[in-house]
Structure 1
Amino acid sequence: MRIRAALALAAVAALAGCSGDVTPLPFTPDRPQAEATTPAPGGGKAAPACNPRASLRPAGSLPKPGNMPAGSYMATIQERGRLILGTSQDTLLFSSRNPFSGKIEGFDVDMGRQIAEAIFGDPDKIQIKVIGYDKRVSSAADGSVDIVADTMTANCERWADVNFSSIYYEAGQKVLVSKNSTAESIDDLGGKKVCSAAGSTSFENIGKVKTKPIAVARPAFGDCLVAFQRNEVDGISTDDTILAGMAAQDPYAKVIGKRFTEEPYAIAMNKTHPEFARFVNAVLERNRADGTWKKTYDKWLGDFGAAPPPPKAQYR
């Protein structure tokens, strides 16, 4: 236990020590240091039926970088001089702070950088704003960020508040436990404390497991890992990709079971700018076709095996 606690405290100290960013544009650490809560899962509002994977069809070919259509939201971003990306800083491989460079990087960050490159011709014209998992929808909806790319599942409830891009990654929920655990799936954790990030679909899904694990919320998955390393919870449940990053950080942890959900990741945007959603979808469409998606996968997730085909776009 002492070793696990030391690992956790070292991780927290490293994160706390990174107060700035060395990227050319500003970094804004807005995630609140909220105390842990344990709200009742599965209490979200009812959502209208929809196909959450179906987005807005691209409107023709992409404009040239630096020449965005007048009156479009892309022109507003171009005039501002930077794209504002909302994401996390502690989701290893998708959006986490590099302890050596201080930069936030990963698969999701590269999704944002590719959109910035399509607007400006320069992927570095991006401002990273760290947001809590429970602020992903509201940050896109209120326009405080241009896009949210943060291992975010597109679902019908969220579609009521934001526009989503086409799906750029397919994940599924599993569970992480101690290596000495005899559990083989989340069904074996009935009555045990299982952590997930507040405001995530993963947290809600824990409450739907028939054996009734006790859902414990933390502000972000990095906080769940600390709680696990301190033996405050028995497991962590979220998308398999996120858990793989956690297991890589903790030699005493393992990921178990088959996927028990489907988690299609998409980029969230404000609903008042449908032309921007169509533009983002055109960028994603181009990247599927020219090999950019595969190169991004190989860069961040190649250690888990050969890249699968990118998710096929579906449109309304």
Structure 2
Amino acid sequence: MTPLKSFLLAMAIGTAVSGTALAEPVDKLQEVLDRGHLILGTGSTNPPWHFIDKDNKLTGFDVDMGRLVAKALFGDPDKIEYVQQSGDARIPNLATNKVDLTCQFMTVTAERAQQVEFTIPYYREGVGLLLMADGDYADYEALKAAGDDVTVAVLQNVYAEDMVHAALPEAKVDQYDSVDLMYQALNSGRAAAAATDQSALRWFMVQNPGRYKDAGYGWNPQSYSCAVKPGDQRWLNFVNTVLHEGMTGVEFPFYAESFKTWFGTELPTPAIGFPVEYK
């Protein structure tokens, strides 16, 4: 074969290979549909987000978000293979294709957004104040008016005192090594309020109906989103559509039932008419 013919053959092979690669882009949505089930990465130790219940079943609000996606894919929310992962495995498991989707109370940050594609938020976390239902203070305004007469229990953290003082500048702050000790301080009257995540506060109230109440004030907002591996816009668009319609559209009953189960709150039905996103 002459040098010219060898060159032309090599060019033809290269063009064919390149054309094949261009014709077969990564398509996670089709891959999941062909497989017949969703592979969801989530945790197992943090109620009400993800935990093993008394029937040895993985459950929680994060799990329900995965079930919502499976329902949209297959008409069956249980067509899921769960990968129970630690918090530090959330991004690596996406990067190595061990999971299709991670839903694990993952706070949206700019640094993480450089490594994964975040979906639209499905929950907005924040700090709240838990009170005894029959305690001395009716609500946040009463706590604030009491100034330094109020003691707030909080989980020990380098930022704990500043965090409490952002809401109650004059309050005394007692830090505890565990959540159980923090709640014990509230129950015993050593603290007038306990500062904790809003989700934990609501879950605790669900578990102890009538015993506690929410002071009615939240601060330090952060968004929780699911995440997918970068590079497949179709898959990201699909998951975003599912979550959006769960919160605002045809699957709202599914989302609302889960929200009430884990947080004890009945969500108002989305208003009919002009889309809420543009108000």
**Could you say which TM-score interval applies, normalised by the shorter chain?**
0.5 to 0.7
Question: Matches of 1:167 and 1:72 in 2, distance apart?
Answer: 23
Q: Is the 8 A contact 2:40 2:80 kept in 1?
A: yes
Is the CA contact 2:152–2:195 (under 8 Å) kept in the aligned structure 1?
no
Other-structure match for 2:127: 173
| Residue type of the alignment partner of 2:103 | A
| Contact 1:147/1:267 (8 A) holds in 2 | yes
After superposition, the Cα gap between the structure-2 partners of 1:260 and 1:125, relative to the gap in structure 1 and judged at 3 Å, is same
Q: Contact 2:247–2:255 (CA<8 Å) still a contact in 1? A: no
Q: Give 1:113 shift.
A: 1.3
Q: Deviations over 1:104-125 (max 9, x none)?
A: 2233322211222333343222
Q: Does 1:261 align with 2:220?
A: yes
CA contact (8 A) 1:163 1:274 kept: no
Q: Which runs of 5+ in 2 are unaligned?
A: 1-23
Residue 95 of structure 1 corresponds to 50
Sort the Cα spacing of 1:283 and 1:88 in 2 relative to 1 into closer, same or farther, 3 A. Answer: same
Q: Secondary structure, in 3 states, of the residue corresponding to 2:104?
A: coil
Q: Distance in 1 between matches of 2:132 and 2:87?
A: 25
Q: 1:148 aligns with which of 102, 117, 121?
A: 102
Give the superposition deviation at 1:285: 3.7
For residues 150-181 of structure 1, the C-alpha deviation after alignment (integer angstroms, 9 at most, x for no partner) is 33332333322221111223443213366787
The question of 1:281 aligning with 2:240 is answered yes
Quick check: which one's helix share is greater?
2
2:3 match: none
> Which structure is higher in strand share?
2
Counterpart of 1:293, as a letter, is F
Rounded to whole Å, the distance in 2 between the matches of 1:259 and 1:163 is 28
Matches within 5 A, 1:206-217: 208-210=163-165
Q: Does residue 1:163 correspond to 2:121, yes or no?
A: no
Identical columns (%): 24
Q: 1:286-308, CA deviations, whole angstroms, 9 ceiling, x for partnerless residues?
A: 44554312432134417423435
Deviations 1:4-48 (A, max 9, x none): xxxxxxxxxxxxxxxxxxxxxxxxxxxxxxxxxxxxxxxxxxxxx
Match of 1:249 in 2: 207
**Higher RCO (CA < 8 A, seq sep 6+):** 1
> Structure 1 length as normaliser, TM-score?
0.56
In structure 2, what residue type is equivalent to 1:128? Y
The answer to whether the Cα contact below 8 Å between 1:152 and 1:267 also exists between their aligned partners in 2 is yes
**CA spacing shift, 1:116–1:193, aligned 2, 3 Å:** same
Q: Could you say if the C-alpha distance between residues 274 and 312 of structure 1 is closer, same or farther in structure 2, counting changes exceeding 3 Å?
A: farther
Residue 68 (structure 2) pairs with residue 77 (structure 1): no
Over 3 Å counting, the alpha-carbon distance change for 1:135 and 1:299 in structure 2 is same
Q: Give the Cα separation in 2 of the matches to 1:163 and 1:106.
A: 23
Any residues of structure 2 matched to 1:298-309 within 5 Å, and which?
A: 298-301=257-260, 303-307=264-268, 309=270
Contact 1:207 / 1:215 at 8 angstroms: preserved in 2?
no
Q: Is the 8 A contact 1:177 1:236 kept in 2?
A: no
State the SS of the aligned residue for 1:149: strand
Q: Per-residue deviation at 1:230?
A: 6.0
Aligned length: 233
Once the two structures are superposed, residues 196-216 of structure 1 have per-residue CA deviations (whole angstroms, 9 ceiling, x without a partner) of: 8x9xxxx97875454595777
Q: What are the within-5 Å matches in structure 2 for residues 1-316 of structure 1?
A: 71-99=26-54, 101-133=55-87, 135-176=89-130, 194-195=154-155, 208-210=163-165, 224-229=178-183, 235-238=194-197, 240-250=198-208, 254-288=213-247, 290-301=249-260, 303-307=264-268, 309=270
TM-score (norm 2): 0.62
- Contact (CA 8 Å) 2:176, 2:182: kept in 1 or not? no
Structure 1 residue runs without a partner (length 5+): 1-68, 218-223
Q: Is the 8 A contact 2:45 2:52 kept in 1?
A: yes
Amino acid at match of 1:243: L
Q: Displacement, 1:195?
A: 2.2
C-alpha contact (below 8 Å) 1:194/1:214 kept by paired residues = yes
Q: How many Å separate the matches in 1 of 2:173 and 2:91?
A: 26
Instruction: Give the structure with higher Rg (CA).
Output: 2
